[in-house]
Structure 1
Amino acid sequence: MKKFMVLIVTLVLAFSLIACGGNSTAAKTNEKPIVIATAEFNGDFYSGWTNSSYDNDIRILVWAFGLIEDTPEGQIIDSPLVAEKKVSDDLLTWTYKLVKGAKFHNGEALTASDVKFTYEFYMDTKALGDTGGTSTINDYVEKIDIDEAANTVTFHLKKASYTIDTAVFGYYIFPEETFKKGAKEEGLTVQQYVKKNISKPIGYGPYKMVEYKEGEYVKLEAFKDYLGKAPAIKEVIVKVVPSETELDQLMQGEVDMLTQQGQAEKIDAVKDKPGFAYTNYYRHGGGTIALHCNFGPTALTEVRQAFAYVLNRPKIIELFLGQYGIASNGPYSKNDWVLWDDDEKNLIGTAAVGKFESTLTSYDILDKDGKFDEAANIAKANELLDKAAARTDGDYAKLTGNAKSGYLWEGKPLEIKVTYTPFWSDTYNLVFNEAYVSKLAFKVSLTGLDWPVMYSHWTGDTEEERMYHAFVGGVSYVLKANPKADYGTKLIMPWGQASSNNVMFSGGSSYTPAEWDQLLDDIENANPVTGRDEYRANWRKFVVAMNKEVPVIPVYSNNYFDFFTDKLENFHTNALWRWARALPNANWKK
C-alpha cells in the first residue's frame, strides 16, 4: 500500500509540472499545454447517454460540429462538412453533399456512408436503449438515402419544424468502418461497442483524445487534418479540480483557466489581479422556482402571482451572487435574439431592457433607492389574494379569508410548501425568515430534500403523498427553443408517473388547454427556412403567458466570468460560446 501511495504522489507531481508548463521543449516552441479546470466528468464522451456539460466540452473539442454548427452570435449555419445543401419545397427532403477530404482522427475518410451509419445507429432505439442510451431522432426522420459516388446523403423527414436543424442535423458523425469492425471482432452490437468505448471518442474536430484518466483529467492534442483552422495551442489538459481549491490552483498557476464563475468572493479575488484576464456574460439560463399549477392553492393564477411578489429576488441574488446576477421576468435570457427587435441587435447579451421585455410584469416592487420594497410587495400580494377570494367559481371557492385575519384554503391556513436541496437551505431560510413570514397573510414553509427525492416530487414520479407546491431548481436554454417539449398538456401525467411538463401547466387563466397546445404547435411548426418572424411573434405570446401565469419564477441569471492567464490571447467566450468553442482560435502570446 505504501509503494502504491508513493507512485500516486509521483504521478501527481509529474502532472503538476506538465500543467505548469514544465516541458521546456514545448515552452521554447510556444506550444506548451493549456490546463483548464473542470468539475468531474462522467466520461460519456459519445452523445446519447448522460448529458453532463463537462463531458460535452470534451465532445465539442473532439467533434465541433455535425452537419450544422453554431456561431458565437448564436446562429445556426451549415458546417464545414457540407459542400452543398438542397431543401425540398415541402421541407421534408433535405440533401447534403459532403466536402471531399474530411477525415476522422484515426485517419478513416468521412463519407456519406458514415453519416447514414451514424443516424441509423441512433434510430435503432432498441439496441441503443439496451445500453442505456436514448435518442429522439425517430420522431423526425423517416429514412435516409445516400449516393456514395456523389457523396450525398438525403434525409426524408416525418415533419418539418422550426427547430428541425438543431433537432436532426447536429448529430456528431461516427466512423462506420472502425465501429463495425470492432463490434464484429468482439461479438457486440455497434451500440454496445460504443458504450464499451464511451471514454475513447473518435471525432474529426480540432482536438483528438490522447488520454482520459477517470476522476483526474482528459488530455487532447491538435488534429493536423482538421477541416477548420488548425488550433495554435497544440495540447489541452482538462483537469478535474474541486470547487474548494479551484481558485487557489488558478492563482498559483496550476491551471490556466477557470470558467463560469458566478460568486462574488471568487470573482472579486481574481478580477483585478495582475497576470489574469477575463470575459464575462449573462448565463443562458438561471435559477428558478417551479410551481405546480394543478395542485392546491398554486392552481390559482393569483396565488402564484402573490407568491412571486413576496419572493425577495434581490435578496437571493445578493446572498448567493453578490452583485453578479440579474433577474428576468420570463423563460428567456439576455442572449435570446427573439427577445429583441431587429433594431436592438446591439443590445443582445447586455443588461439593457428592450422594447418587448419592458412590457412584461416585474414581480419586484422596488423603493426609491432601488431596494426590495417589502411593504409594497406584501400589499400587492394581498390585493391579488383578495381578488381571488372574492370569486366562488371552481377552485376559487376553496380560497377564503382576508389580509387581516389570514387567508384560508379549504378552511385551513393557506400554506405554500417550498422544497429545495440542502445547498439552498441557508439562502432560502434567510429570505423567508420568521420575522418576514410573520408579516404575510399566508404561510410559507421550507423543506430540504436530497435531489433524487425532490425531483421525484417535482415530476410526480413517486408513490409518496403529494404535498409540495414549489421547487427550487434551475434551467438552461437552447439556441432554438421548442416549448412544446416542456409545456405540452399531453406531457402532464397522473400523480405517480413522471410528467415531462413538470409544472403541470396547461394555460392557466390565459388559455384553455386546447388554445395553449395550439400556441405551442404554432411555435414548433414555424417554417424552418422562412418563419423567423412568425416564430418570434408566437414565442413572445408564450413568454407573455408565462410571465402572467408564473408557473416558473426566474429567480436569477448569473453574470458569469471566465478567468484565464493573460499569456493567452484571442480567446473570446460568451453565453452561447463556451470555452471549448473559443479555445481553437486562441494562442499563447509570443
Structure 2
Amino acid sequence: WEFSDDAKEITFKLKKDMTFSDGEKVTADDVVFSYQFLADKSYTGRYGSVVKDLAGYKEYSKGKTEEFKGVVAVDEYTVKFSFAEPLRTNLANCTMSIMPEHYYGANWKVGDTSAIEAITTKPIGSGPYTLEKFQEKEFVSLKRNPNYYGEGYFIENIVCKFVDQTTDIVELTSQEVDLLPGVIEPEKINEAKSKDFMTFNSYDRSGYGYTKFNCESGPTADKKVRQALYYGFNIKEFVNSYYKDETTGDVLASVQYHPFSQVSWGIDDKLLSEMTEYDFDLDKAKSLLDEAGWKVGSSGYREKDGKVMELNVAAMPEHDILNTLIPMWQRDWGEGLKIKLNIAYLEFNTLLDYVIYNSDENVDKWSIYFMATSITTPDPHSLYSEIHSDYIGTGKDNTARYNNPEVDKLLDEAKSIVDKEEAKPYYNKIAKILNEDAPIVPVYANTYFDMYNKKIKGLETSPFCDWVKALKHAYIEE
C-alpha cells in the first residue's frame, strides 16, 4: 500500500491470486462493498467505528447519497481509501475482513442491509478455513479452504466445541478436546500441568475482566452511586483468593484502575500512581450513597423519593467468576450497604441482547453486568467505540451508555496525533476521568494460559497473537 502526500489517502494493490472459498475472485469491488455495508444507515452491527473517519461517511450513512466516496475501486485489483483527516488510526481501519459482493450483495439495496444479515449464518470468506457445519450451542466444524491463497495453516480440520466452564478442564485432560485457550483458574492450570501429554503457553493478557454500570438508567446513572459501589466492591479480596495458586502461593492476576490493556503504550508508572485506588471501604461507600440521596429507610433498604434502591444484576449462569462475585455483592452491597439486589441469570446470547444487540429496548432492565475483554492492539484507541457517546445504542459498543463530552473530545483529538508520546497525555487524561466517573470497573488483569495437547506443534501464542492467528504455523505431529 502507499499513502498520498497529505496522508489522507491510502491505496492498496490486491493480490491477483486471491479467491473466496467458493472459487470466485477477490476484487476491489468486494472491498468497496464491505465498507459500504458497514457505513449503511440500516447497519446495526458492531465495528461501525472503522468507517466513521472515511470521507463522505456522514452523507452516506444518513442516506443523503448512494455513493460512498470513502472507498473507491480504481481498477479490478486497486482500491483507494480516502479519509477526512490524516489520523494515526486510518491504516488500522483499512483492515476489516472482506465480504464477497456476489454472495452477500446479491439482493442488497443501499439503505437496507436485511438481505445481507439474513445469510450471515452461512458465511463465505477468503480465509484459510470454510464452515463445514454449525450446530448451535454445540460446535462449529471448519475445513481448510482449498482455494486459500496464503501460506501456512497446515491443520486440515478444526472443531470448535462449546464447553461448559465447569467441565472444560475435564474435557481437556480426558483428551476430548486438544486445546483450551485463555485458562485463568489456578486449579485448572495445575490439573492440566499434571498430565504428561499436556503443554502450555503463558503470557500477560491484553485485556481484563470488568463490570460495567448502566450510566443512563436507574441508580447507577449517578456517578456517586457508581463510586460507592466501587468502594463497596472488595476487588482485592476476590483477586487474591480466586487467582491464588495454592501450590505455589502465587496470585496469577492483579488489580488495575484504568481501562487500557496492561501491555498498552497508553499507560506508564506516572499514570498508575495517579489513579484513585478504590480500596474496600464500606463507610466511604455509605457516605457517597447518603450524598446521592439514597438513605436507609423503613423498608430496611436505601430509599430515595419513596423508591427502594434496586440493582438489577445481569449474570450468566454456572459461571465460575460470577459464582464468587455475586455472593460478595450480596454480602457487601446487599447486607452492607442495604441495597436490594435482583439477580437475573441469562444465557450469554440473551445477555448480549440486553446490552448490545437490543440494548435500546432493554436499557431499563439492568444495572450491572460482568464480562471480559481481549484487546488486540497496544493502541489505547481500541477503546474508542466503547466509551465514545457516538456508540450508544442498539448494536453499538458503548454498552455502559457512558456519555461525557470531554472524553469524546479527547478521544477525537488523540486519534489525530501520529506520535505515540504526544498522544499519551490525552489517553492519560481519559484514564483519569474514567477512573473518577467509573462507568467501567476493571476487576482483574490476569495471566493467560493456553493449555494444549503436545501433539500440537508450532503454536506460538502471545498477548497480540491469539490461538486463531497462531494456527498459521501450527501442525499436528502424528
- Please indicate the TM-score interval, normalised by the length of the shorter structure: 0.7 to 0.9
**Any residues of structure 2 matched to 1:398-409 within 5 Å, and which?**
398=293
Residue 54 of structure 1 is matched in structure 2 by none
**1:316 aligned onto 2:238:** yes
Deviation at 1:380, TM superposition (A): 4.8
Amino acid of the structure 2 residue aligned with 1:427: T
Instruction: Return the match for 2:267 from 339, 348, 368.
Output: 339
Aligned to 1:583: 471
Q: Residues 294-313 of structure 1 correspond to what in structure 2 (within 5 A)? A: 301-313=223-235
Report matched runs for 1:506-525 at 5 Å. Answer: 506-507=403-404, 513=405, 515-524=406-415
CA deviation string 1:221-244 (max 9, x = no partner): 2647533x3333344333444545
1:146 equivalent to 2:73? Answer yes
Aligned to 2:64: none
Amino acid at match of 2:186: A
- What TM-score comes out, normalization by structure 1 length? 0.62
Partner of 2:61: none
Give 1:448 deviation, angstroms: 0.5
Other-structure match for 1:419: 313
> Hey, what does 1:570 align to over in structure 2?
458
Deviation at 1:542, TM superposition (A): 0.5
Q: Give the structure 2 partner of residue 102 of structure 1.
A: 18
In 2: Cα distance, 1:289 partner to 1:490 partner = 21
Between the aligned partners of 1:216 and 1:113, the Cα distance in structure 2 is 33
- Where 2:189 maps in the other structure, the secondary structure is helix
CA offset at residue 538 of structure 1?
Answer: 0.8
Query: Normalization by structure 2: what TM-score?
Result: 0.74
Q: Measure, in 2, the Cα distance between the counterparts of 1:277 and 1:569.
A: 10
Query: Post-superposition shift, 1:471?
Result: 0.7
Structure 2 unaligned spans of 5+: 57-68, 246-251
Partner of 1:474: 371
1:276 positional shift: 0.6
Aligned to 1:74: none
Contact kept? 1:325, 1:556, Cα under 8 Å: yes
Q: Which residue of 2 aligns with 1:157?
A: 83
Asked if the contact 2:224–2:292 (Cα under 8 Å) also holds between the matched residues in 1, the reply is no
Q: Secondary structure of 2:371's partner?
A: strand
How far apart, CA to CA, are the structure 1 residues paired with 2:183 and 2:167?
A: 13
Q: 1:171: which partner in 2?
A: 96
Q: How does 1:351-362 map to 2 (within 5 A)?
A: 354-362=269-277
Structure 1 residues 331 and 568: alpha-carbon distance in aligned structure 2, compared to 1, 3 A threshold: same
Give the equivalent residue in structure 1 for 2:177. Answer: 255
8 Å CA contact retained: 2:152, 2:472: yes
Relative to 1, partners in 2 of residues 1:306 and 1:462: Cα closer, same or farther, differing over 3 Å? Answer: same
The offset of 1:555, in angstroms, is 1.5
Q: Mark the runs of 5 or more structure 1 residues left unpaired by the alignment.
A: 1-83, 341-353, 366-376, 390-395, 508-512
For residues 224 and 110 of structure 1, do their structure 2 counterparts lie closer, same or farther at Cα, with a shift above 3 Å needed?
Answer: closer
CA 1:146 to 1:220, structure 2 compared with 1: closer, same or farther past 3 Å?
same
Alignment of 1:211 onto 2:132? yes
Counterpart contact for 2:308–2:340, Cα < 8 Å: no
CA distance 1:87–1:218, shift in 2 (3 Å): farther
Q: Distance in 2 between matches of 1:109 and 1:297?
A: 54
Counterpart of 1:561 in structure 2 is: 449
Change (3 A) 1:251 1:120: same
Rounded to whole Å, the distance in 2 between the matches of 1:233 and 1:501 is: 37
Q: 1:302 to 1:189 in 2, by over 3 A?
A: closer
Q: Which amino acid aligns with 1:285?
A: G
CA–CA separation in structure 2 for the residues paired with 1:559 and 1:486: 23
Structure number with larger C-alpha Rg: 1
| Contact residue 400 and residue 408 of structure 1 kept, 8 A | yes
Using a 3 Å threshold, how does the CA distance of structure 1 residues 328 and 414 change in structure 2: closer, same or farther?
farther
SS of alignment partner, residue 331 of structure 1 = coil
RMSD: 4.2
1:220 to 143, 146, 150: 143
**Alignment coverage as a number of residue pairs:** 440
CA positional deviation for 1:122:
4.6
- Deviations 1:119-174 (Å, cap 9, x if unpaired)? 34555555x67xx899566634431333327x3211233455443333x4122224
Deviates more, 1:412-421 or 1:247-256: 412-421
The alpha-carbon deviation at position 579 of structure 1 amounts to 0.9
CA contact (8 A) 2:208 2:444 kept: yes
